[in-house]
């Protein structure tokens, strides 16, 4: 393969240098952090000051384990400063291109790593902070176990960040920006699968390694994982040597194989020398140094596998009919693929579901939330909503191809295979339901699955059979706040039904405004909607007004059941009058513009009403 390097712009050159600076600093930080874990020096400095410059002074004056701990924080601070520079340089050097966000993504990862490290320290050393964490997470786990969990997450995240920064550095280089002769070949797909599976196995192996280092358990599982990763590394290297004669790919293949041998030696030798003891007290001992080098070598192998997979996906994914691989084409394709996944999962709808779930949770249980339960409920229900949206598009892909509004979706446009959408949707629904079942409660999980079943099993088939489908479709849309309520209380109470009723009634004028806007599309797709049989639109407009009135009355229910005060009732009436006014305007004009006003007002009405209820309840 021949490459035609391009000359990067000054900002791109700066981004390239800063990216490699971040890579070097992060690897050094991993080495120092590994020594902190090896010598159990993690709590020698129990404080965590937000005045980061103080760490430089304490590090300079400290010795022993305290020097390792403070030095680790100093390096982390410098990495953060370099990450800020990288984010600015990437944004300046790549305006209008998807890659401009890579620097910001790297900075967010670095910041996340610092937050995890700070939490690990504070949960052990600060009693007040520890009490807040215990209250917010429901207790249950002892302090030492919480420290170990955060330490494991901290160590694993650092290695992932290092691999990500290596990929960013490669993408900032001249070789990446150049064009490469890389025609599509049958062997490319298999190579991508092998590289992806190997990378996934390496991630699991590193996660298991952090568990072994923190607890001293699971050594044999770690050895078994190392065997699987070794087979994957060798298989990837053999495929690259046989099918992909490209310099960087062959370099990563050779380097990963060599480092694999070193990694195995660094792992087994200390194990044999200590008889299985995972902890050492002397930082300068041979065992301590080898175990630290084992962590650094593992992070480097992960980075090599990540860069190798990145190059493979670019060089073997050239579009049909083209022989040259261009960086901008690859990056645009990746960005487009990400956008397609968001469209497939109906990202906006999933985000709205998260908001209504959170509203139901906080209305049912004012005050400090149980963070794990709240997050698991929001994330799990949102995943089920996204997976349900993907399965809905799989079921309706032929009808979507008939409508202007939906024909550019991934499936009807041919950018994604139907089986891919089906598998992604199914896996996402299962993962979301499992999350709710494991970390919330079974009743919330049952309601979540009921939401998906009603939408896919009842509402979707009824779209082409009866105009009453809108009433059925409003049921799954109204269940998320009830799920949030059940997550907070563990039972379905009267207040949950009130929230369900408000969301149910709100959806009807909202949906009918959409149906009027896209009535021609629905007619072409064979959908049974009121707007497709009501040519003049008078009946639909009257239904919007009628249900706006019903919504105004329904929104007063929290006051009558004792959930809210009369102050909320005043706010609900004012908001309802505004919504009703948009409906009356549409009844008078019956135009696309007036229907769009109803739609936009409905989007403003719901968060305003839920916000007013939250403020009143709190």
Same domain, 246 and 289: yes
Same domain? 195 vs 311 = yes
Q: What is the mean pLDDT of residues 185-193?
A: 83
- Asked if pLDDT for residue 29 goes beyond 80, the answer is yes
Is 556 among the domain residues? Answer: yes
My answer on whether 27 and 153 are in the same domain is yes
Q: Is the pLDDT of residue 289 over 70?
A: yes
- Decide: 449 and 512 in contact? Cβ < 8 Å: no
Would you say residue 60 has pLDDT above 60?
no
* Residue 6 confidence (pLDDT) above 70: no
Segment 405-430 mean pLDDT: 91
Distance CA 81, CA 90 (A): 14
Q: Quick one: which of 596, 384, 559 has its CA closest to 483?
A: 384
What is the token pair recorded at 357? 């779930």
pLDDT tens per residue, range 124-161: 666 666 666 666 665 555 556 666 677 778 788 889 99
Q: What is the pLDDT of residue 272?
A: 78
Say if 255 falls within a structural domain. Answer: yes
Q: Which of 382, 615, 360 shows the shortest CA–CA distance to 499?
A: 360
3-state secondary structure of 402: coil
**Residues 92-128: tens digit of each pLDDT:** 887 767 778 888 888 888 888 888 777 777 766 666 6
Q: Is the pLDDT of residue 283 over 60?
A: no
pLDDT over threshold 90, residue 427: yes
- Domain boundary at 177, 212, 242, which? 177
Q: pLDDT confidence of 1, banded at 50, 70, 90?
A: very low
DSSP state of 398: H
Q: Which of 483-492, 530-539, 601-610 has the lowest mean pLDDT?
A: 530-539
146-150 own/partner pairs: CB under 8 Å, 24+ apart:
147/42, 147/43, 147/120, 147/123, 148/214, 148/215, 150/116, 150/119, 150/120, 150/123
* Same-domain pairing of 14 and 160: yes
Banded model confidence at residue 4, pLDDT cuts 50, 70, 90: very low
CA 387 to chain centroid, in Å, comes to: 14
Q: How far apart are the first and last CA of the chain?
A: 65
**Does 70 share its domain with 196?**
no
Asked if the structure places residue 98 within a domain, the reply is: yes
pLDDT surpasses 90 at 550: yes
- Does 358 lie in the same domain as 312? no
The first and second tokens of residue 443, run together, are 């009743």
Q: Which residues contact 450 (CB under 8 A, 6 or more apart)?
A: 476, 479
pLDDT confidence bin for 50, thresholds 50/70/90 = low
Range from 64-73, 423-432, 594-603 carrying the lowest mean pLDDT:
64-73
195: pLDDT strictly greater than 70: yes
In a domain, 498, yes or no: no
**Total-model pTM:** 0.80
Residue 329 lies in a domain: no
pLDDT band at 47 (very low <50, low <70, confident <90, very high): low
Closest CA to 1 of 246, 356, 185, 346: 246
| Overall residue count recorded for the chain in this entry | 618
Looking at every residue in the chain, the average pLDDT score rounds to 84
Quick one: pLDDT at residue 519? Answer: 84
The tens digit of pLDDT for each residue in 602-617 reads: 999 999 999 999 898 8
Same domain, 536 and 606: yes
CATH of the domain at 275: 1.20.120
Q: What is the pLDDT of residues 162-184, one digit of tens each?
A: 999 999 999 888 888 887 777 77
Is 297 within 8 Å of 263 (Cβ atoms)? yes
Instruction: Let me know whether 285 and 357 are in one domain.
Output: no
Do 234 and 291 belong together in one domain? yes
pLDDT of residue 277: 60
**Range of weakest confidence among 31-35, 145-149, 354-358, 387-391:** 145-149
Residue 322 lies in a domain: no
Residue 497 lies in a domain: no
Question: Are 166 and 307 contacting, i.e. CB atoms less than 8 angstroms apart?
Answer: yes
Q: Does one domain contain both 258 and 380? A: no
Reported as a single tens digit per residue, the pLDDT across 240-253 is 998 888 888 889 99
Question: How high is the pLDDT of residue 271?
Answer: 77
Q: Which of 162-171, 320-329, 529-538, 583-592 has the lowest mean pLDDT?
A: 320-329
The answer to whether residues 490 and 549 touch, using CB atoms and an 8 Å cutoff, is: no
340 in a domain, yes or no? no
Sign of dihedral through CA atoms 53, 54, 55, 61? positive
Question: Is the CB of residue 363 less than 8 Å from the CB of residue 397?
Answer: no
Q: Would the pLDDT of 409 be above 60?
A: yes
Please tell me the predicted confidence (pLDDT) of residue 328.
79
The pairs formed by 522-528 with CB atoms below 8 angstroms and a separation of 24 or more are: 522/403, 524/402, 524/403, 524/404, 525/399, 525/400, 525/402, 525/403, 525/406, 526/399, 526/402, 526/464, 527/399, 527/463, 527/464, 528/462, 528/463, 528/464, 528/465, 528/466, 528/467, 528/469
The CB-side HSE value for 138 (13 A sphere, CA atoms) comes to: 10
Q: What is the percent of the chain where pLDDT is above 90?
A: 35
247 and 265 in a single domain? The answer is yes
Helices (H), 94-177: 102-125, 127-137, 143-171, 174-177
Residue 178 token pair: 């150049």
Please identify, among 177, 210, 240, the residue that sits at the C-terminal boundary of a domain.
177
Q: Which of 158, 177, 196 is the last residue of a domain?
A: 177
Could you give the CA distance from residue 436 to residue 416 in angstroms, rounded to a whole number? 29
Chain segment 75-92, per-residue pLDDT in tens: 888 888 899 999 898 888
Identify the pLDDT of residue 346: 87
Residues 370 and 483 in one domain: yes
> Residue 239: exposed, middle, or buried by beta-carbon count in 10 A (0-12, 13-18, 19+)?
buried
Could you tell me the CATH number of the domain that includes residue 423? Answer: 1.10.357.140
Are 165 and 172 spatial neighbours (Cβ–Cβ below 8 Å)?
Answer: no
- In what helix (H) or strand (E) does residue 378 lie, and over which residues does it extend? helix 371-395
Per the structure, the count of domains in the chain is: 4
Range with the lowest mean pLDDT among 175-179, 253-257, 480-484?
175-179
Residue 143, domain extent:
1-177
Task: Write out pLDDT tens, residues 493-521.
Answer: 898 999 999 999 999 999 888 888 888 88
Report the distance separating Cα 151 and Cα 498, nearest Å.
Answer: 43
pLDDT surpassing 90 at residue 445:
yes
């Amino acid at each position: 393969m021949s490459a035609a390097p391009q000359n990067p712009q000054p900002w791109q050159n700066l981004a390239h240098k800063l990216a490699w600076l971040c890579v070097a600093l992060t690897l050094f930080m991993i080495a120092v952090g590994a020594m902190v874990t090896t010598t159990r020096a993690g709590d020698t400095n129990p404080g965590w000051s937000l005045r980061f410059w103080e760490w430089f002074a304490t590090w300079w004056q400290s010795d022993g384990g305290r020097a390792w701990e403070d030095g680790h924080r100093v390096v982390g601070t410098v990495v953060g400063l370099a990450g800020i520079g990288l984010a600015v340089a990437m944004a300046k050097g790549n305006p209008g291109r998807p890659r401009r966000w890579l620097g910001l993504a790297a900075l967010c990862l670095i910041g996340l790593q610092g937050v995890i490290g700070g939490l690990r320290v504070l949960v052990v050393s600060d009693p007040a902070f520890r009490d807040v964490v215990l209250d917010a997470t429901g207790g249950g786990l002892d302090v030492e176990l919480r420290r170990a969990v955060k330490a494991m997450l901290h160590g694993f995240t650092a290695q992932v960040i290092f691999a990500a920064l290596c990929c960013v550095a490669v993408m900032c280089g001249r070789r990446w920006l150049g064009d490469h002769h890389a025609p599509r070949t049958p062997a490319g797909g298999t190579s991508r699968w092998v590289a992806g599976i190997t990378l996934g196995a390496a991630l699991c192996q590193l996660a298991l390694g952090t568990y072994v280092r923190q607890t001293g358990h699971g050594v044999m599982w770690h050895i078994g994982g190392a065997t699987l990763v070794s087979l994957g590394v060798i298989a990837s290297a053999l495929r690259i040597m046989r099918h992909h004669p490209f310099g960087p790919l062959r370099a990563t293949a050779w380097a990963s194989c060599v480092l694999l041998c070193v990694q195995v030696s660094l792992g087994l030798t200390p194990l044999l020398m200590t008889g299985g003891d995972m902890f050492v007290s002397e930082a300068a001992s041979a065992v301590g140094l080898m175990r630290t080098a084992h962590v650094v070598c593992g992070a480097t192998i992960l980075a090599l596998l990540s860069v190798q997979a990145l190059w493979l996906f670019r060089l073997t994914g050239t579009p049909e009919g083209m022989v040259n691989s261009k960086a901008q084409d690859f990056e645009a394709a990746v960005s487009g693929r990400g956008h397609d996944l968001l469209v497939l999962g109906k990202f906006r709808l999933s985000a709205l579901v998260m908001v209504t779930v959170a509203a139901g949770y906080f209305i049912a249980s004012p005050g400090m939330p149980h963070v794990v339960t709240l997050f698991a409920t929001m994330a799990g229900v949102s995943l089920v909503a996204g997976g349900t949206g993907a399965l809905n598009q799989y079921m309706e892909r032929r009808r979507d191809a008939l409508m202007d509004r939906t024909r550019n979706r991934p499936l009807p446009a041919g950018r994604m295979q139907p089986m891919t959408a089906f598998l992604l949707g199914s896996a996402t629904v299962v993962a979301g339901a499992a999350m709710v079942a494991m970390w919330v409660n079974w009743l919330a999980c049952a309601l979540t699955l009921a939401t998906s079943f009603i939408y896919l099993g009842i509402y979707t088939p009824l779209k082409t059979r009866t105009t009453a489908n809108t009433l059925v479709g409003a049921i799954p849309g109204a269940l998320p706040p009830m799920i949030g309520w059940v997550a907070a209380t563990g039972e379905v109470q009267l207040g949950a039904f009130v929230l369900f009723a408000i969301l149910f009634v709100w959806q009807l004028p909202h949906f009918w405004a959409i149906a009027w806007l896209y009535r021609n599309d629905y007619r072409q797709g064979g959908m049974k909607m009121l707007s497709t049989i009501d040519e003049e639109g008078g009946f639909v407009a009257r239904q919007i007004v009628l249900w706006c009135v019903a919504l105004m009355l329904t929104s007063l229910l929290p006051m009558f059941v004792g959930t809210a005060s009369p102050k909320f009732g005043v706010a609900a009436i004012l908001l309802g009058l505004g919504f009703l006014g948009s409906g009356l305007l549409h009844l008078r004009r019956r135009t696309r513009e007036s229907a769009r006003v109803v739609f936009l007002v409905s989007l403003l009405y719901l968060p305003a009403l839920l916000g007013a209820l939250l403020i009143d309840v709190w």
